[in-house]
A and B are shown apart, each in its own frame.
Chain A
Amino acid sequence: MSDDVRQLLQKRRYSAAFERLLELYGKKVFRMAVMMMHDAGRAEEVTQDIFLKLWQVLPAYDGRASPSTWLYTIARNTCLTVLRAESYRKASSLSHAPEPAVADKGSLRIELEQCLSRLPETQREVITLFYLEERSIEDVAQMLDIPEGTVKSHLHRARRALGEIME
């Protein structure tokens, strides 16, 4: 899938490469942002930031990593930067208003989020992305830049732990 993007980049057809990347990975990057931001509205804004950044740095692509790995790295770093900035803003703000996104969620979903929050970070990321990515281990491995076998072992551990927690 990434090969045609790589060829476009080698031919310096940046606009075409950008459109192809947006078409292939727009949804996946958005789902990754949802997993990290826990808020679909905010995640959509961050997805725009990610693709804007991609558009800016596309001519600097050096071909060492695959375009998808490169894009997911930009996505992860952008989400982390936004999260860090937001946690700093929250910490430095005097008012602690409740987050509006929580109000529309069903109680089951909130319970599930509480269970998920008790998992170690990597297990939580793996199991959330696995379901958001429609059960594709390959996609999760690419997004988190870890081998498929590691994704599977994190999934197994997360399922075992959730089985205990949710009982």
Chain B
Amino acid sequence: MDCRSVEEAILDSLENAGTTSVQREIDVHLANCPACTTFAARQQRVDAQLSRLLVPPELSSGFRKALRKRIRREAMQLWADSLPEKVHFLSCGFATLMCAVLMPFHPAAVLSAGTAATLVTYLLMTAVRNFFESAEESGQ
């Protein structure tokens, strides 16, 4: 083994335990090579210092609780955000059903009421949406 291969083998041995035959070859080389002995000692010092000072940190005990709280809040927010669409969808479904049932008896009244209700709902939804959007912008 030449000096370069021994240096690489020394660096490898710091990452995983090498085979005993490789270790024996390193030992034989180190016994006759002061430069590689210095290199090995220096690398062991570096490794020891890094192991001592770069200690794996642990999450605090309140981490999961705090995360769950944030997720619950986010879920509530998503639910609240989608509420107008859900209400609108249900109302439309109900109105369509009512129209289908009443149309054969009072077609003119159903058509006028349907048109008026659609118009009013659209204007109301637009006004509510604009109100929330401007409130959100002023909040930021």
Contacts and interface: CB of A to CB of B under 8 A. Distances in A.
Q: Decide whether A and B are members of one complex.
A: yes
Interface of A: 22, 26-27, 30-31, 34, 40, 43-44, 47-48, 51-52, 55-56, 108-109, 112, 127-128, 130-135, 137, 152, 155-156, 159-160, 162-163, 166-167
Contacts of B59: 26-27, 30, 44, 47
A133 B46 CA distance: 17
Interface in B39-93: 39, 42-43, 45-47, 49-51, 53-54, 56-60, 63-64, 66-67, 70-71, 74
A26 B12 CA distance: 29
B43 A112 contact: no
Contacts of B70: 48, 52
Contacts of A167: 42
A55 B72 CA distance: 11
B60 to A, nearest CB: 6
Interface of B: 8, 11-12, 14-15, 39, 42-43, 45-47, 49-51, 53-54, 56-60, 63-64, 66-67, 70-71, 74
Contacts, number: 75
B104 to A, nearest CB: 43
Given A44-B60, A159-B43, A109 B71 contact: no
Q: Determine chain B's interface SS by DSSP, over half rule.
A: helix
Contact of B45 (A56, A127, A130, A166): A166
Nearest to B39: A163
Contacts of A27: 56, 58-59
B50 A127 contact: yes
A128 B51 CA distance: 10
B54 A131 contact: yes
Nearest to B10: A159
Given A34-B57, A55-B71, A131-B50, A48 B11 contact: no
Going nearest first, the 4 A-B pairs with the smallest beta carbon separation are: A131-B54, A163-B42, A156-B11, A40-B57
A131 B52 CA distance: 9
Contacts of A56: 74
A134 B46 contact: no
Contacts of B51: 131
A166 B57 CA distance: 24
Contacts of B46: 159, 162-163, 166
A163 B15 CA distance: 16
A163 B40 CA distance: 10
